[in-house]
């Protein structure tokens, strides 16, 4: 554990950061930005994905697309509409405690869920013929591409860099609370945006599934 400087608290080593602040240190658990214990699980999932694409059978592709998509959608909705607002209202020490435990796992879970969903989904669409422009619900498929494109820009350009930067800041001997605050705001807002986009995804995917 290490101490973190926050407004009105102390910095690493117990030196007061602000004279007016209470002399209580904030514990920052030791953590790995990318949890190495999770990497073998990611490797297994990607191996299953490669095998499913190679055999090109309907059930494994459908399984991976649905499981990956459900994970992606549920996590985005939960982060955007439940945990995000809660995180935003928590005091910084509590945010730090939660973030150092949650965000490293998100760094492994989300990219894996996304690549599994999209790769299996594309192969499934090729298998079923739904990626062709002659498919009678082609407009809905194109709409799903647009939604995924917007989500990708938000997630890859804003959310994930903020996630990594928060964890990197928290790894410093003396993290800057202003930086953490700023990056976590970005994380929370972008989570909300991707949560909204996931509602659109649910509308489109249920339409495609029901015909």
Q: Within 10 Å of residue 105's Cβ, how many Cβ atoms?
A: 12
User: How many Å apart are CA 210 and CA 95, to the nearest integer?
Assistant: 41
Using rule CB under 8 A, residue 132 touches another protein:
yes
**Piece of the chain touching another protein by CB under 8 A; list 20-28, 84-92, 140-148, 161-169:** 161-169
Q: Which of 12, 45, 46, 193 binds another protein (CB under 8 A)?
A: 46
- Shortest distance in whole angstroms from residue 53 CB to another protein: 6
Question: C-beta of 95: minimal distance to another protein in Å?
Answer: 17
29 with 1: CB under 8 angstroms? yes
* Least distance from another protein to the Cβ atom of residue 19, Å: 26
* In the complex, least distance from residue 24 CB atom to another protein, rounded to whole angstroms: 25
Q: In the complex, what is the shortest distance from the CB of residue 54 to another protein, in angstroms, rounded to a whole number?
A: 7
By CB under 8 A, name the one of 45, 131, 150, 200 that touches another protein: 131
Instruction: By CB under 8 A, tell whether 59 contacts another protein.
Output: yes
- Under the binding rule (CB under 8 A), the answer on residue 4 touching another protein is no
Binding flag, residue 106, another protein (CB under 8 A): no
Sign for the CA dihedral angle at 37, 75, 68, 107 comes to: negative
**CA distance to 26, 160, 161, 201, 209, per residue, from 165 (Å):** 20, 8, 6, 28, 38
* Token pair for 150: 């917007």
**Residues that bind another protein in the complex, under the rule CB under 8 A:** 34, 46, 49-50, 53-54, 56, 58-59, 62, 111, 115, 118-119, 122-123, 126-136, 156-157, 160-162, 164-165, 168-169, 176, 179, 211
């Amino acid at each position: 554990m290490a101490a973190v400087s926050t407004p009105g608290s102390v910095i690493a080593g117990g030196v007061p950061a602000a004279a007016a602040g209470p002399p209580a240190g904030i514990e920052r658990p030791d953590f790995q930005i990318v949890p190495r214990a999770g990497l073998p699980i990611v490797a297994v999932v990607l191996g299953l994905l490669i095998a499913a694409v190679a055999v090109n059978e309907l059930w494994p592709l459908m399984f991976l697309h649905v499981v990956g998509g459900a994970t992606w959608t549920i996590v985005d909705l939960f982060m955007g509409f439940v945990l995000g607002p809660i995180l935003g209202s928590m005091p910084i020490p509590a945010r730090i405690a939660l973030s150092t435990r949650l965000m490293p796992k998100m760094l492994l879970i989300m990219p894996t869920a996304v690549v599994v969903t999209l790769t299996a989904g594309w192969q499934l669409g090729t298998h079923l013929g739904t990626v062709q422009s002659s498919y009678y619900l082609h407009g809905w498929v194109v709409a799903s591409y647009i939604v995924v494109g917007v989500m990708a820009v938000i997630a890859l350009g804003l959310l994930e860099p903020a996630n990594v930067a928060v964890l990197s800041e928290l790894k410093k001997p003396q993290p800057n609370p202003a930086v953490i605050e700023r990056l976590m705001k970005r994380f929370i807002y972008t989570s909300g945006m991707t949560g909204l986009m996931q509602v659109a995804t649910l509308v489109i995917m249920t339409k495609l599934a029901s015909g």
